[in-house]
């Protein structure tokens, strides 16, 4: 595995590979890697000649008072995991290398970023879109792998790529979960034992909702109420939002139909956790 920290070195490497007509897969992450991240690398390995995994904790997507300073990090373990899973390149740029001077340009994807995460974290998606645009330009034409865990982010990036004609194919990959349903997340590291136990209510309530929908329930309001009740039964979990939306446009729906996605966010202790499901499919993707 080749390890780079400088943009110019990565460019040189990728230019050489492209000259040999190698296809490139990109897996952008913020590190503290788990099986969810690694599933993206594996998928990229299957579909490309070369996989580039990136680790960069992007300050632009954190607001004042969020967990930028405490975001978990273990670059040694991350490097070993990337090597083991077969990432060809690991790019870990420094802050200085990514933002050598104050950045004055920002990518704003309207509408898709108004609700849910965008409402709770108003500057978040501009930070995400800007750094992902930067990583796309640094990497060049590629297949880029993102987790459905961050469903809204996946739609925002897909829209950005269409709107700005990036030569990138965005590929969404299924959510990987613990056996008890909790979606893997670097932020799960913040949870105490009790909070970790309580946090399973997110996936549990989504699964219950999906069971009801498959039994014939179509009312978004009733499904949202069910999830609110379930989450309220866990005192350590504070619901931020539950929304039923069209999975592609993210527009809220009154009636649940095929293609509807249910998204949820909650605070559990120091962690802000998100999860989502396809309304008719329910929970899938348990880790080994």
- Using the minimum distance from each CB to ligand AMP, give the nearer residue, 175 or 223: 175
CA 74 → CA 6, 77, 189, 196, distances in Å?
19, 6, 12, 21
- Note whether 272 binds ligand AMP by CB under 6 A: no
**Six-digit token string for 260:** 């509807």
- Note whether 176 binds ligand AMP by CB under 6 A: yes
**Six-digit token string for 137:** 């330009």
The one segment of 63-71, 83-91, 105-113, 169-177 that binds ligand AMP by CB under 6 A: 169-177
Distance CA 163, CA 146 (A): 18
User: Which alpha helices (DSSP H) does the chain contain, by range?
Assistant: 7-19, 35-47, 75-85, 95-98, 117-120, 124-139, 151-164, 193-198, 201-214, 220-232
- Using the minimum distance from each CB to ligand AMP, give the nearer residue, 136 or 256: 136
How would you class 287 by CB atoms within 10 Å of its CB: exposed for 0-12, middle for 13-18, buried for 19 or more? Answer: middle
- Note whether 147 binds ligand AMP by CB under 6 A: yes
- Using the minimum distance from each CB to ligand AMP, give the nearer residue, 249 or 284: 284
Q: Which of 11, 34, 37, 124 is catalytic?
A: 37
The one segment of 13-21, 33-41, 71-79, 249-257 that binds ligand AMP by CB under 6 A: 33-41
SS3 217: coil
For the CB of residue 93, give the shortest distance to ligand AMP in the complex, in Å: 15
- Note whether 146 binds ligand AMP by CB under 6 A: yes
Distance CA 205, CA 230 (A): 6
Kindly write out the interface string for residues 48-87 of this chain, putting x where it contacts ligand AMP by CB under 6 A and - elsewhere.
Answer: ----------------------------------------
Distance CA 160, CA 133 (A): 8
- Using the minimum distance from each CB to ligand AMP, give the nearer residue, 175 or 191: 175
If phi > 0 it is left, if psi is from -120 to 50 it is alpha, else beta; for residue 96 that is alpha
- Note whether 29 binds ligand AMP by CB under 6 A: yes
Q: Which of 14, 25, 26, 36 binds ligand AMP (CB under 6 A)?
A: 36
**Six-digit token string for 3:** 């390890």
The rounded radius of gyration (Å) of the Cα atoms in the chain is 19
Task: Answer whether 10's CB lies under 8 Å from 142's CB.
Answer: no
- Note whether 149 binds ligand AMP by CB under 6 A: yes
For the CB of residue 175, give the shortest distance to ligand AMP in the complex, in Å: 4
Q: Which of 126, 175, 223, 231 binds ligand AMP (CB under 6 A)?
A: 175
The one segment of 92-100, 180-188, 216-224, 232-240 that binds ligand AMP by CB under 6 A: 180-188
Active-site amino acid positions: 37
Which residues of the chain form contacts with ligand AMP (CB under 6 A)? 29-30, 36-37, 39-40, 146-147, 149-150, 173, 175-176, 183-186
């Amino acid at each position: 595995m080749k390890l780079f920290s400088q943009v110019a070195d990565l460019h040189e490497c990728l230019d050489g590979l492209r000259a040999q007509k190698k296809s490139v897969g990109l897996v952008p992450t913020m590190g503290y890697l788990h099986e969810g991240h690694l599933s993206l690398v594996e998928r990229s390995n299957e579909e490309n000649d070369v996989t580039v995994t990136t680790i960069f904790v992007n300050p632009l997507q954190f607001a004042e008072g969020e967990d930028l300073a405490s975001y978990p990090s273990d670059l040694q373990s991350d490097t070993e995991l990337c090597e083991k899973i077969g990432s060809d390149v690991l790019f870990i740029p420094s802050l200085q290398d990514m933002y050598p001077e104050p950045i004055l340009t920002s990518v704003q994807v309207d509408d898709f970023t108004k609700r849910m995460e965008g409402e709770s974290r108003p500057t978040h998606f501009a930070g995400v879109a800007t750094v992902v645009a930067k990583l796309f330009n640094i990497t060049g034409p590629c297949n880029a792998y993102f987790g459905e865990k961050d469903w809204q982010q996946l739609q925002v990036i897909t829209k950005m790529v269409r709107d700005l004609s990036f030569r990138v194919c965005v590929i969404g990959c299924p959510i990987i979960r613990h056996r008890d349903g909790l979606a893997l997340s670097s932020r799960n590291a913040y949870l105490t034992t009790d909070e970790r136990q309580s946090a399973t209510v997110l996936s549990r309530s989504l699964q219950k909702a999906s069971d009801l929908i498959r039994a014939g329930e179509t009312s978004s309001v009733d499904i949202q109420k069910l999830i609110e009740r379930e989450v309220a039964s866990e005192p350590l979990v504070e619901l931020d939002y539950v929304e039923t939306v069209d999975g592609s446009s993210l527009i809220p729906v009154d009636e649940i139909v095929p293609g509807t996605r249910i998204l949820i966010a909650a605070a559990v202790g120091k962690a802000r956790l998100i999860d989502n499901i396809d309304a008719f499919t329910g929970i899938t993707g348990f880790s080994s």
